Structure 1
């Protein structure tokens, strides 16, 4: 039996972070959970312990550098050296840019971008003395191809890619034994669409195809085990997004401008003053644990051929080249139509 590793997961109380934490727990690892919501953290601890792992919940707002730094020190005090650090935590505002306040935009940026910066800083502070460790950034296809109504979130995801590339090159320069990689996610069925701040007239939804968060969790675990690659791609929508961006960016802009509003909303009318988790957690009180899944189980996929291909990219390099050409042609034909 392998020695349990110490894994820190931010945003671990719900959604992708919750699924990631559970996946590492099932491997028998020691999982440190960072998030704001106490009920969500308690639920995650129970799931990890049932799966066979050990868990430590540390209520943390990743937008606060000092809180993240203290959490990292506590993790090592309890479980020993941090082997893997996973940055997942984020928040967002669904609204046209003109309807987002400066305070809201700042908050999204502090959590969804600076939270990754602070997490990476804390991880490196503990990993560099040992010259060992892995950092995995949970990214998004929207970090390569932005869409309407999510300007703050898209900006943060773009920033994460640039920041991570810079850090990676510095580690390579130093011949470091520390690795950093990004897992670019497709649309996922997480609770965010129920608690994100929204000024849309109808209920927010992920743009199909939608995948279950367990797909994301398996991808993150694989990336943590094989971190030498710059990034991993998950899901059909991710591949189509990147292909469209490279082949026909101007045409894709027009397409998204025409379809991007409706595709991110269901037919259900919602109150624009509904509670949200931008400034305060919605899973802090007893009985408010949201778990990993959102409201779209019936429409979500539990498998991803793209993840399999991403994991076997080297052996499929020739076939992938031919497939990319076919995918590009399909995207161009669809957009032209």
Structure 2
């Protein structure tokens, strides 16, 4: 990863900020995109403290001309883009029947079309060179929608469909440009403090929570390896497999637990700001307010990224079992009495 030019969208906070930290440790040249200039400058400082180098563009990913301009300036002033990570997102916590059309459109434009525009901008430069890597940041919700996040779930489903189509096309064209989708679990990020919400209580990640660094490690691995897809944690695996075989059952489970499971017991303050239309001012963090609940390791991710070790240990275990059985079969019976 040393000296590779890596573009990260949504890099001002949350997962995007953690991704910048992760790649900085490996010597990459970061190009950060988001709307919040102050928070982008904060990310740049943190990258430099880690010994890396970073530049930024203030970009609203909902506008393709802004994305293309930032990509063009990166190619001209910094160097050829090696890796493009589509991470920017937005959401609204709200029952579907209270959503407004402009809110649904905005979430779709940022969370889905933002990845489309980013991918288009990256391919414009990668395809003629016949090299490069694009990482799409997905979610368990790309496979299984949940209550109160219809716009976000729909957008992530859209990203999944676009990814399937594009990957098939690249394989057909025998292109050396690679694309991977990384499906995230619930994460302790800043989005729960500033996503627009109509819930009576403060939003929270649903289910088992992981730190954003877990996602960042998975995304860095995806950028280095030609994997089709990475499921970052066991809750993601459960959602994908469960929805494949028992979607109706999940409908009922989520109807029962999915509303309260996305809220804390703390009422929402009247002063709460949201970032649907404009960024929340200030310099923000990679972490949200759930550090006390969040896990910093994912056993499933370790097994996925060390699959050769897992296969070897499994084969050794099977071999030991076979040897034990063979030994017992070949051993002469022990007499039960002395003549």
Whether TM-score is above 0.5 comes out as yes
> What secondary structure sits across from 1:122 in the alignment?
helix
Q: Where does residue 261 of structure 1 map in the other structure?
A: 259
- Out of 287, 294, 305, the position equivalent to 1:293 is 287
Distance 1:73 1:90 in 2: 22
- Out of 306, 315, 329, the position equivalent to 1:312 is 306
List per-residue Cα deviations over 1:55-104 (Å, max 9, x = no partner). Answer: 10100000000000000011112221000000000000000001110000
1:183–1:219 CA contact under 8 A, matched in 2:
yes
Query: Shift of the alpha carbon at 1:315?
Result: 5.9
Q: Where does residue 278 of structure 2 map in the other structure?
A: 280
- Out of 247, 250, 266, the position equivalent to 1:249 is 247
Shift in alpha-carbon separation, 1:156–1:317, aligned structure 2, 3 A: farther
> What secondary structure sits across from 1:297 in the alignment?
coil
Q: Where does residue 162 of structure 1 map in the other structure?
A: 161
Q: Where does residue 7 of structure 2 map in the other structure?
A: 8
Q: Where does residue 151 of structure 2 map in the other structure?
A: 152
Distance 2:2 2:248 in 1: 51
Distance 1:107 1:302 in 2: 32
Residue 183, structure 1, aligned to residue 177, structure 2: no
- Which structure has the bigger radius of gyration? 2
Residue 84, structure 1, aligned to residue 83, structure 2: yes
2:183–2:229 CA contact under 8 A, matched in 1:
yes
Structure 1 unmatched ranges of 5 or more: 321-337
- 1:193-212 matches, within 5 Å, as 193-212=192-211
Q: Where does residue 105 of structure 2 map in the other structure?
A: 106
- 1:24-63 matches, within 5 Å, as 24-63=23-62
Distance 1:26 1:263 in 2: 35
Structure 2 unmatched ranges of 5 or more: 315-339
2:2–2:26 CA contact under 8 A, matched in 1:
no
Distance 2:63 2:144 in 1: 28
Distance 1:30 1:160 in 2: 26
Q: Please, what TM-score do these two structures have when normalized by structure 1?
A: 0.90
Query: Shift of the alpha carbon at 1:207?
Result: 0.9
Q: Please, what TM-score do these two structures have when normalized by structure 2?
A: 0.90
Distance 1:198 1:319 in 2: 47
Q: Where does residue 65 of structure 1 map in the other structure?
A: 64
Query: Shift of the alpha carbon at 1:149?
Result: 0.3
1:201–1:272 CA contact under 8 A, matched in 2:
no
Query: Shift of the alpha carbon at 1:188?
Result: 0.4
Distance 1:3 1:200 in 2: 45
Distance 1:252 1:317 in 2: 32
Count the aligned residue pairs: 314
Shift in alpha-carbon separation, 1:260–1:174, aligned structure 2, 3 A: same
